[in-house]
Structure 1
Amino acid sequence: MVYTSTGSSRRSASSGKSMAGVGRAGFIRDPSGLLMSIIRTLASSKDGHQREYEKERLEEAFGENDEKLDELVADNYEELAVSIKQFGKIGDRISDSRQRIKRVKESLQQCKSLLYCRQDELRKLWIEGVEHKKVLFLLGQIELVKEAPQAIDGFLRKKHYLHATELLRQTLQALSGELMKVEALQDIRNELISKKLTMHDGFINELHRQIYTNSINSKKKENRSMEGSKVKVERRSSTDEDGGIGKFDDRVLQLEQLDLDPNEDPFKLMTVLVESLARLQRIPEMIEATKTRMDRHINALITHTTVEVTDLAFHDENKESENPKRLLQLLTSLFDKFHCIVAAHSHVLSVLREVVSEVKPPIVLYDIEAVWAKIQSVIEMLLHEYLDADNVAASSQQLGFSEGGSLSSHFARKKVSRQRVAKLFRFDGSSHAISMNNYLREQRAQRRTHSIGGGTSPLLDHALSTQKVCKPNPRNITVIFGPLKKFISEIETGSAYSSGKKCPLHDYITDYVQDVFIRQIQYELKKDFDAAMKVTDPLKLSADQSTLKSLGSYRSLLQSTVVADQCMWFLYDLTCSLDSYHDHFLTMACSLLQEYKEMSIQSYRGVVQPESEDQQIVSASWVRDADVNDMLRNLDNWKVAYGGKAQNLHSVDDNFTQEARFFLEKFGDESLGKNSLVEDHSDLKAIASLHESLEWMTSRLHKFISSIKKYAPPDTMQMLQNLAQDYKRMSEICLLCLHIELRLLCFYHLAPMFKNNSYDIRGVDSMEHDFQITKLTKDIASVDENLSGALQQEKYNYIFEGLGHQTAAILIHGAKHIKRISPSGVKKMCRNVFTLQQSLTNITSSRESHLDEARQYYEMMYLMPDDLQAQVVEQGVRYQTENYVEALNLLHRSKPGSGNEQTQSARVQRLRAIVTEQTFKKEHADEMQRLYEI
């Protein structure tokens, strides 16, 4: 608001005082308060000046209010004019209405007086109207009753079961009431009563079809939990009057919408069927039929699913009837269907609980645990058949497996009782049966292709209902155990089993695996082991090439090793497939590997430890010698044999020389008998095959150990690692035995060639090499023939390389046993060396230079005793001091007139001094050469 300057100055002069009831803008807030304030002010004023001042203030305030009122009127003139005009019209209408109400009251009073005069006539007319209305209602009801059977049939054809039920109930109620005495409706009444008596059977059949068929094929399974809540409305008693036939309550109208297809939602249709049976008061019959027919429906479901799987398998490229994956496909399909069936039963039970909640006396319902129990019993029968439990259990009992005792006892030889008599004839594989089965499959396939619902003829389905998706076999459990275990867990979770309690199917599978399947596996492993190990000579029975190719191995492996490996990995597959029982299978694997180790040791001892007490294979005894083992394992050629690298070629050559000297010192001048060696060289091949097999088995066992880490406990892992070490040690023992055996063979043939022998040859016919050389070359060639295909190249080289060093050492060492030697004898000895060198060169493809040294050693026998010292100075030291001394002694024995014993002793001392001096010079030169290179 706008204030005047005069008013503002005056309010300033009044030191902020204001009149009571007057606001800052000068408006009167409360007239009564203002008036009382003015009266108090005037009454308390002492002079006229104060009264004049109050008067001026009032005049000023009224003046401001007049100005503001004029301004507001000017600003809102049009709205104010319209409001006044409308107010005037409203006032006129109110006055007009009062006049008309007054006239109506007068008219009503007049009508009341007139009606009172005609009261009897009006009552008569009202009674006649009521009678005519009732007659018309009854005639309408009669028309509806006449149309009811046809309408009910129409509802049933369209699967609007609740409408049909409610219409039937209403019609029968009407026929039992006011229309009872209408004789013309008696036939209709009898027809509807007959429908009521039989309709519930159709509803029950349809409910079962929805539970066991449509609930599986429906695409709206995921919305089943929501549908129950959507159809819940306030329930009304089925006996309430709805005002006549054909008038349905809200629950009927919401459960069944006539413009929708009931087949689109089977769960809603189940609700409709249960509600319909409740209105027909047939819930007890429905519950009893559901419990009675459950077994039959589930068996029919299994039969139809089996037919589907066999039809799909018929068109598959892999038509092997033993394929267990078909059983897995069957069970997977059945598990999905069983879940749908259980969900359908759960929905039906929820509707039943709602329906029977108000029924007196209460009706006893079945529970979902009964459904799971029936499903489990049917699955048990199915598994019992496909796992061949009866035949396997009977065979395991005949085999006499006992729960007590060690697991290794299952691999011991036992007397097998008579097997069950097998069927002599089967006709399911005949040409007639095959052609008929193919024809029936084609017929079903055509029906499924050309029909919307995919339904097939029950007769055609029954024709193949006795067929199996695969042959019964206890090993089928390995394929189905994982999905079966998951299904069992879902059952126990859904059924809310208490802690520690298991479902019957879980107990059945546990009993089958522990009491039947594991026994059968033990029997099969025992039979395979008996076939591979309990033969005449298991070390000479090698695996065929196709088996080796499948294993990716190019080495010669024993059949027993391949069988042991297959059994080990078969148990690994069982461990992975039946992971709940991995302890059983890993224990069996440990027992199996331990058994095979013992059998391998026995087979090895059968070769190297003959039954005769006076016969002892020297190589086998040397292998057990710690000194021999340590010496051979520390050499570079041993490292090279196992994939290592030598320091240089000179180190390998030095190792061969060191090894030859070691064997020469250990053997000494002893003589070997024929029984001290392995006579049959095929036995050496058997040892070589055992070595390769055990080494390959060691690598396979390490792979097995790394694969079972997540299953095996620490003690089992430690046991398997110990077995792997035992296999490795046994394979090394076999290789060392071969290595030593071949060198002892050289001692056996060459040592007798020198003892008490004289090479003082005079005739020309005696220049051919010795027969011992011939025998040795033949034996070496025979050993090479047996070992060439049985060993890897590195191991083969380890056996044969160094033989030249060993034979050269034996030949040089044998010089001290020769009585005398002539130039012709030297030639003969050189021929011996050449023959050996040629034979070994053909095997090792190397020059065998150490045999050249042996030949040069005997060529020194052409010299005179004094010339030997000069040759050592000229050519350097090539042999050991004792070899030079023995050569000098042989020259003295072979050349008469060389001097007496004193002369010989002096020459020996001189020769020792020369060899020592030359050796020192050579070592000094080598040392200076190394320093120069550095």
Structure 2
Amino acid sequence: MEASPPTKPPRGVKPIKKTSGLLMSVIRTLSASETNEQRDREKAKLETDYKICDQKLDELVLRHEQDLTEVMQLFGSISQTVSSNRERIKKVKENLQDCKRKLRCRREDLKNLWVEGIEYKYMLKLLEEIEKMTEVPNKLANYMARKQYLHATNLLVEAVTLGKGTLEGVESLKELSQELEQKKEQLHLQLLSELKDFLYIKPSQRILALHRQGSGRDGLITSPLQRSTELRKSGRNRGVARNIFDVPRKESNDISSDNFAHLDNLESIDPDESPNSFAAMLIKSLCILDKLPFAISEIVQEMQISLFHIIERTTQYVKDYIEGLDTKLVLKELIQILFLQFKEVADSHRIILGYIENACKVYKVDIKIYNVNYYWGQVQEVLQSFLATYLDIQNTSKRKSHCSSSTVHQVLLRLAVP
């Protein structure tokens, strides 16, 4: 079996010299010596060895005198540096202890200053919010005057939320908060009014304008041949006039559910130039106000009333042109104009229903929506009531001996009342 190699001692640790054996040997020799001569010889030997070691040491010192001098100088320098650093460390410790003692004394002051800083920052934020609240009425009036309802809605919702949040306890803003709540209610009623105008008033006005433009005051035709000729002309004129009064149907597809949420980028939407985009803005504003279900409910409940208003306005329009015309053609002319208006209103309802569906997808709203078939059902009921009233009046008139122009006026006036 091979012997293991010797292990290297750890760095910085000097190996222990085995000098105890030599010392014990000298002690045994001195103890075993019987005479003083032996002890003297042993002493002389030790002195000789000592002189040899001393001589070798002197030789080594002489040989390495320069190195020893440099080492001693370096040692003195290092010793001085260490002493200086000790003094510095001592001073640093004293300074740290002093700082620690002072910080303990000032900790409450620092804490109070930190709390005051937070309070001032919060107060500054409140002042900025209060200033923003005071500017809301002027900005709102500006938006409403320019019909920028979406900007007005966002401004009002933000202001009302702010008034119910961090500024709820500010006494000077209570009246302003109540005023903004009222303006919020007024805004959603204004939006609903604009929406009804888009659905009923403007389509009806477009058809009446087209009819007036196509046939003038002779729009109520007394001759079948003349009627067919004028209707063909009116059809051509309607195609031209639609470019003036209406927006192409493809506009209704420009605002889909993907970009319905990006209407904020439109600084101003002209309801005459872009009626469909304006309608989309109305729907989005109602969604932000959480009034879309209410608006749909109002539209459904007042649908027949709005249709009767169309009949009333159209009847008044026809009444203004009946003098000197055959009264037998009055109802036919009135029904034709009404059907054109109802078709135009149906197109407006389709556009609005498309925007409502997009709004429900974007805002995750679950609303029961009516459809165009429901609208035509309401039109049917309104026309049935209208014709029943007309036939009742006509039967009453037949029992009289004659039917004068004033009688026709009375018939149309009664038809105009829903």
Is the Cα contact below 8 Å between 1:215 and 1:267 reproduced in 2?
no
Matching residue within 349, 352, 355 for 1:348: 352
Structure 1 residues 60-99: aligned runs within 5 Å? none
- What's the secondary structure of 2:320's corresponding residue? helix
Cα distance in 1 for residues equivalent to 2:394 and 2:313: 25
For 1:429, the equivalent position in structure 2 comes to: 406
2:352 aligned with 1:327, yes or no?
no
**Distance across 2 between alignment mates of 1:251 and 1:381:** 41
Query: Identity across aligned pairs (percent)?
Result: 27
Whether the 8 Å CA contact 1:349–1:367 is kept in 2: the answer is yes
Higher RCO by CA contacts (8 Å cutoff, separation 6 or greater) = 2
Instruction: Tell me, yes or no, if the aligned pair for 1:384 and 1:390 is still in contact at 8 Å.
Output: no
Q: CA deviation at 1:376?
A: 2.1
Partner of 2:246: 221
After superposition, residues 153-232 of structure 1 pair within 5 angstroms as 153-217=141-205, 219=244, 221-230=246-255
> Displacement of 1:426 after TM fit?
7.8
Are the structure 2 counterparts of residues 346 and 467 from structure 1 closer, same or farther at C-alpha, using a change threshold of 3 Å? Answer: closer
- Residue 12 of structure 1: aligned partner: none
CA contact under 8 A between 1:215 and 1:266: conserved in structure 2? no
Structure 2 equivalent of residue 270 of structure 1 = 279
* Per-residue deviation, 1:347: 1.1
Q: Which runs of 5+ in 1 are unaligned?
A: 1-116, 237-249, 393-419, 438-462, 469-934
**Kindly tell me: are residues 361 and 213 of structure 1, through their superposed partners in 2, closer, same or farther at Cα, counting changes over 3 Å?**
closer
How many residue pairs align between the two structures? Answer: 274
CA RMSD of aligned residues (A): 4.0
Q: Give the letter for the 1:158 counterpart.
A: R
TM-score scaled to structure 1, two decimals? 0.26
Asked whether the equivalents of residues 228 and 268 of structure 1 are also in contact (C-alpha less than 8 Å), the reply is no
What aligned pairs does 1:284-433 form with structure 2 within 5 A after superposition?
Answer: 284-314=293-323, 319-324=324-329, 326-357=330-361, 362-384=366-388, 391=395, 422-423=399-400, 429=406
Q: Write the letter of the residue equivalent to 2:345.
A: I
Of 287, 292, 310 in structure 2, the residue corresponding to residue 283 of structure 1 is 292
Q: Indicate the residue corresponding to 1:261 in structure 2.
A: 270
Question: How far has the Cα of 1:359 moved from its partner?
Answer: 6.1
2:219 matched residue in structure 1: none
Counterpart-to-counterpart distance in 2, 1:346 and 1:221: 15
Equivalence for 2:54:
none
Taking structure 1 as reference, are residues 235 and 302 closer, same or farther at Cα in structure 2, changes over 3 Å only?
closer
* 1:252 aligned onto 2:264: yes
Question: How far apart are residue 221 of structure 1 and its match?
Answer: 3.3
CA distance in 1 between counterparts of 2:404 and 2:331 reads: 23
Which letter does structure 2 place at the counterpart of 1:320?
A: L
Matches within 5 A, 1:848-927: none
Deviation at 1:364, TM superposition (A): 0.9
Out of 131, 136, 146, the residue aligned to residue 143 of structure 1 is 131
Change (3 A) 1:153 1:144: same
Output the CA distance in 1 between the equivalents of 2:158 and 2:313.
Answer: 41
Task: Give how far 1:387 is off.
Answer: 6.0
Quote the Cα distance in structure 1 between the aligned partners of 2:177 and 2:345.
39
Letter of the 2:378 counterpart: K
- Is contact 2:260–2:359 with CA below 8 Å preserved after alignment? no
> Residues of 1 paired with 2:326 and 2:415: CA distance?
11
The code of the aligned residue for 1:271 comes to A
Taking structure 2 as the reference length, the TM-score comes to 0.55
Q: In the TM superposition, what is the alpha-carbon distance from 1:201 to its structure 2 partner?
A: 2.4
TM-aligned CA deviation for residue 277 of structure 1: 1.4
Pick closer, same or farther for the CA change 1:388–1:133 going to 2, 3 Å: same
Q: Return the offset for 1:195.
A: 2.3
**Kept in 2: contact 1:304–1:465 (CA 8 A):** no
SS of corresponding position for 1:357: helix
Q: How does 1:114-153 map to 2 (within 5 A)?
A: 134-153=122-141
1:466 aligned to 2:414? yes
Alpha-carbon contact 1:356-1:362 (below 8 Å) kept: yes
Residues 318-338 of structure 1 show CA distances to partners (whole Å, capped at 9, x for unaligned) of x134241x4343233222221
Does the 8 A contact of 1:200 with 1:280 survive in 2? yes
Q: Is the helix fraction higher in 1 or 2?
A: 2
Aligned residue for 1:264, secondary structure, equals coil
For residues 893-927 of structure 1, what are the alpha-carbon distances to aligned partners after superposition, in whole Å with 9 as ceiling and x for unaligned? xxxxxxxxxxxxxxxxxxxxxxxxxxxxxxxxxxx
* Residue deviations 1:222-249 (CA, integer Å, cap 9, x gap): 424324424755566xxxxxxxxxxxxx
Superposition deviation, residue 175 in structure 1: 1.0
The one-letter amino acid of 2:190's match is G
Aligned-pair distance for 1:294? 0.8
After superposition, give the CA deviation of every residue in 1:32-53 in whole Å (9 maximum; x if it has no partner).
Answer: xxxxxxxxxxxxxxxxxxxxxx
| Cα distance in structure 2, aligned partners of 1:231 and 1:302 | 33
CA drift of 1:251 comes to 3.2
SS in 2 for 1:199: helix
Offset of 1:160 from its aligned partner? 1.6
Gaps of 5+ in 2: 1-98, 207-243
Distance of aligned partners of 1:136 and 1:220 in 2 relative to their CA distance in 1, 3 Å threshold: farther
Following superposition, the deviation at residue 165 of structure 1 comes to 1.3
Matches of 1:228 and 1:130, distance apart in 2: 52
Partner of 2:26: none
Q: Is residue 342–residue 379 contact of structure 2 (8 Å, CA) maintained in 1?
A: yes
**1:585-596 residue pairs with structure 2 within 5 A?**
none
With over 3 angstroms needed to count, the CA separation of the structure-2 counterparts of 1:217 and 1:231, relative to structure 1, is: farther
